[in-house]
Structure 1
Amino acid sequence: MADDSIAVVDLDRCQPDRCNYECANYCPPNRTGKECITERGEDADEGDPDQIRISEEICLGETCGICVEKCPFDAIEIINLPSELEEEPVHRYGENAFALYGLPTPEPGKVTGILGPNGIGKSTAVHALAGERVPNLGDHETEPDWERVLDRFRGTGLQNYLAALEAGDVTVSRKPQYVDQIPKQFDGNTRELLERTDERGALDDLIDRLNIRPVMDQDIDSISGGELQRVAIAACLARDADFYFLDEITPYLDIGQRMVAARLIQELANEPESDRSMLVVEHDLAILDLLADTLHVAYGEPGAYGVITDPKSVRNGINEYLKGYLDNENMRIRPSAITFEEHAPRATSKGTPLVEYPDLEKSYGEGEFGLRVEGGTIHEGEVLGVVGPNGIGKSTLAKLFAGSLEPDTGSLEFELDIAYKPQYIEIDQPMRVDAFLSSITDEFGSSYWNTEVAQPLQLDRIMEQDLTDLSGGERQRVAIAACLSEDADLYLLDEPSAHLDVEQRVRATTAIRRYAENHDATVMVIDHDIYMIDLLADRLMVFDGEPAERGRATRPQEMREGMNDFLADLDITFRRDERTGRPRINKPDSQKDRQQKRDGEYYYAP
């Protein structure tokens, strides 16, 4: 194979007992007597001896690709690597396995961001920087050692950090990506979990600022996803460490809570005479833009190989990522750019009303949460964005519309079939993805369904997996597909962006938007990712009030009016990047922030 290609065999998908070795039988080098695709044999480091291995020295590369096409289980990838990759991998997991090129560079007193798809090696990089895995420099057959690693990175920005790591002088604190796994690993209440992390004497301040004091004496398995996320952030930041790694801080948090978490991370990094390094993986571009001092872009083929670039300025890194072209690397990482409206959307054309509803009130009892809803109209074929803090009544409104709750004041004289994707996805069925989705719609597997739902949500490679084995991002995509596959009057998706990377969010947005347009379907999307709402929504419904006490929902309104109402309540302003039109959070009390507040333009200012 050419030096700039690799072969990857997914051992979870390779099923020799269910095929006739089509890959080997049709392989051109094999047919000339060479041993390009063979069985792994008893000496294989991992996998079943009957599974295949591919000789990268003999393979003809991506230009052939016959084995990729012939494999009935999509277990093989032959990939041309970028010609710019002149060095060997930093780490490769084994023969025909994932390879990582490059490492991020933690900087003392700085917040370093990583932006890139899921499955691209970010966790592998962090394991290396935490000293939990010695990089093998691509040589998976030899025991790795730090001397070779230090020699490889001599003269780079990583040299001093790796030398300290090898000497045992680096301590690490980590926040995991999937916080819903915490209750499975810890049995106790929130206070017991947090008190064991209080190494800096900062726990009380973290508890108050993250607003988790109300759940301190609750069992950890009884609190919500948003509360778990804030507990995990507090536990990570309470430790006294040299290197902090935070893997996705925003899922399940509203924008106000995201801002608080970002400020806490910045403050810890910027403490006087502190050499703490912060590394943050984040898919909420607005928060990453505000939070990070420098940025590494990660690209490649998920599950096959990943490349982590040298550090860039945050603005340039995000803009290049959205553009799909990395300037310094001379590398196209996406065929087309992700674009945003540069100015406030024009008023939407009014379609046929789907729902006209009066003022509504719903209370859960004396001294309990109460919601007031201003009467309004939702039109057929529109995508209505729903924004507001957590615990403010958005789910209560959905239940009122669905008929599972009755209002105390006002009457809902309609019955809607609502397809609902909840915020927290509980999947415990021992069932394959394809069987689950085919049980929802007769359209499953049709060319139309594949084009409109499966392909945008990248479901092909997980169809044969069990629901219980899916990652958080995979579960999210299956749940979105399940919702859109139902026959309904109103499609309600609660935080569809959670655990999706930027590319997946754009694909999910495309799928939702296209489904609404092609089916003249009405969609309500509750989300805290401003970028997703910006790309998706025609109009906005804004919730405000006091979380867990009282909430108010405005009538559906135009984007400019709605965003101004929403952000004014949070005291946050956005501007538009002059090159890409993407929304960017203004630094609090900056000249731009003060000017926009005076003008009453919290979002659509250029």
Structure 2
Amino acid sequence: MKIEDKHIALKVNELSIGYKSISICDAIDFKLNKGELAAVVGVNGIGKSTLLRTLGNFQPYLSGSIEIDGKEIQEYSSNVLATKISVVLTEPIASKNMTIKELVTLGRQPYTNWIGSIDAIDKEKIEASLEKLELSELQDKKCFELSDGQLQRVMIARALAQDTDIILLDEPTTHLDLYHKVQILKLLKNIAHTTQKTVLFTSHEIEMAIQLCDKTLILDGQKNPFGQPCELIQNKAFEKLFPTDTVAFDSSTGSFRIQK
């Protein structure tokens, strides 16, 4: 491995994603370093969730390559991959009758023995995750008692307890109000920068991603631009996202304006 590659956590090259032989999006190229927060943005149906599920190894890709720590994803066993990547999807949890602590404890499954008992290291990771997400005082509360924002923090805490180098999240701010959207994204940024984990999430919150993310991937089904938000603004990449007669991007403010 080259010296400059040591900091690369996730590398995607000429990736084509879809279902069976039907491609949804092609020519996806990007790489993320350790400690970076990145977003995948794009119009509905372009393949954001499909990309995330593909990166999480929930479905196969059609062509190209995905490398985790310089090693092709297909070379990892499912057990080892679970120690490399944690995923927070939009599907509802199996049982909301669990307590917060019980749900977060599930994040330690890749490391527990065959009877699922946890040791001192597991307990330490669980407690640290609860504290990081400000859930320690609520840990005995049942999940059905939680607000959407609180439940999302629990799901992130479970991923954090899994202690993987990469955390993937599908639409982590869905159904949240503006304050809680910002709170979750700032929290993800803090996790990435303070723990040196690579955090990648899909989002419709493009303006927030521009302000908070280190890198952004714009899925447009053609060139799929990737880079720092300031670079993408300079290259007018956001201006091509939506029909200009409906929504226009203002590069000076990094925001979208409705065309009246």
The question of a shared fold, defined as TM-score above 0.5 by the shorter chain, is answered with yes
1 CA distance for matches of 2:7 and 2:185? Answer: 23
How far the C-alpha of 1:492 sits from its partner, in A, is 0.8
Once the two structures are superposed, what CA deviation does each residue of 1:507-555 show, in whole Å capped at 9, x if it has no partner? 322321121112211110211123431342111111124xxxxxx5725
Equivalent pair of 1:497/1:532 in contact (CA under 8 Å) = no
| SS of 1:362 mapped into structure 2 | strand
How far the C-alpha of 1:466 sits from its partner, in A, is 1.6
Among 175, 178, 183, which residue is 1:502 paired with? 178
Alignment of 1:214-253 (within 5 A): none
1 CA distance for matches of 2:64 and 2:130? Answer: 42
Specify the alignment match of 1:491 in structure 2: 167
| SS of 2:167 mapped into structure 1 | strand
Specify the alignment match of 2:62 in structure 1: 408
Matched, 1:521 2:191: no
What amino acid is the match of 1:537?
Answer: C
Once the two structures are superposed, what CA deviation does each residue of 1:102-132 show, in whole Å capped at 9, x if it has no partner? xxxxxxxxxxxxxxxxxxxxxxxxxxxxxxx
How far the C-alpha of 1:444 sits from its partner, in A, is 5.2
Among 212, 223, 240, which residue is 1:568 paired with? 240
What amino acid is the match of 1:453?
Answer: L
Q: Call closer, same or farther: CA 1:409–1:584 in 2, change over 3 Å.
A: closer
Specify the alignment match of 2:227 in structure 1: 557
Specify the alignment match of 1:174 in structure 2: none
Q: Call closer, same or farther: CA 1:353–1:573 in 2, change over 3 Å.
A: same
Once the two structures are superposed, what CA deviation does each residue of 1:396-449 show, in whole Å capped at 9, x if it has no partner? 222332333333322442345221111343342421112222343533564x54
What amino acid is the match of 2:52?
Answer: A
Specify the alignment match of 1:161 in structure 2: none
Question: Quick check: 377-386 or 437-446, which moved more?
Answer: 437-446
Alignment of 1:449-598 (within 5 A): 449-454=129-134, 459-460=135-136, 462-545=138-221, 552=222, 554=224, 556-563=226-233, 564-570=236-242, 571=244, 572-575=247-250, 584-588=255-259
Q: Call closer, same or farther: CA 1:396–1:439 in 2, change over 3 Å.
A: closer
Specify the alignment match of 1:379 in structure 2: 33
Q: Which has the higher contact order (CA 8 A, sep 6+)?
A: 2
Q: Call closer, same or farther: CA 1:373–1:428 in 2, change over 3 Å.
A: farther
Alignment of 1:50-449 (within 5 A): 352-365=7-20, 368-412=22-66, 413-414=72-73, 415=76, 417-441=84-108, 442=122, 443=124, 446=127, 448-449=128-129
Equivalent pair of 1:427/1:468 in contact (CA under 8 Å) = no
What amino acid is the match of 1:383?
Answer: L
2 CA distance for matches of 1:426 and 1:353? Answer: 32
Q: Call closer, same or farther: CA 1:500–1:427 in 2, change over 3 Å.
A: farther
1 CA distance for matches of 2:171 and 2:250? Answer: 24
Once the two structures are superposed, what CA deviation does each residue of 1:177-226 show, in whole Å capped at 9, x if it has no partner? xxxxxxxxxxxxxxxxxxxxxxxxxxxxxxxxxxxxxxxxxxxxxxxxxx
TM-score by length of 1: 0.33
Specify the alignment match of 2:119 in structure 1: none
1 CA distance for matches of 2:168 and 2:199? Answer: 6
2 CA distance for matches of 1:529 and 1:411? Answer: 28
- Count of residues paired in the alignment: 225
Equivalent pair of 1:361/1:409 in contact (CA under 8 Å) = yes
Greater Cα radius of gyration, structure 1 or 2: 1
2 CA distance for matches of 1:400 and 1:445? Answer: 27
Equivalent pair of 2:214/2:229 in contact (CA under 8 Å) = yes
What amino acid is the match of 2:133?
Answer: V
More strand by share: 2
Q: Call closer, same or farther: CA 1:509–1:438 in 2, change over 3 Å.
A: same
Identity %: 25
2 CA distance for matches of 1:391 and 1:588? Answer: 23
CA-atom RMSD, angstroms? Answer: 3.1
Q: Call closer, same or farther: CA 1:360–1:483 in 2, change over 3 Å.
A: same
Equivalent pair of 1:476/1:499 in contact (CA under 8 Å) = no
1 CA distance for matches of 2:185 and 2:241? Answer: 26
2 CA distance for matches of 1:378 and 1:445? Answer: 26
Equivalent pair of 1:355/1:378 in contact (CA under 8 Å) = yes
| SS of 2:220 mapped into structure 1 | strand
2 CA distance for matches of 1:372 and 1:586? Answer: 29
2 CA distance for matches of 1:539 and 1:436? Answer: 30
2 CA distance for matches of 1:502 and 1:411? Answer: 36
What amino acid is the match of 1:565?
Answer: A
1 CA distance for matches of 2:63 and 2:96? Answer: 39
Q: Call closer, same or farther: CA 1:401–1:555 in 2, change over 3 Å.
A: farther
2 CA distance for matches of 1:584 and 1:435? Answer: 41
What amino acid is the match of 2:145?
Answer: D
How far the C-alpha of 1:483 sits from its partner, in A, is 2.1
Equivalent pair of 1:421/1:479 in contact (CA under 8 Å) = yes
Unaligned runs of 5+ in 1: 1-349, 546-551, 590-606
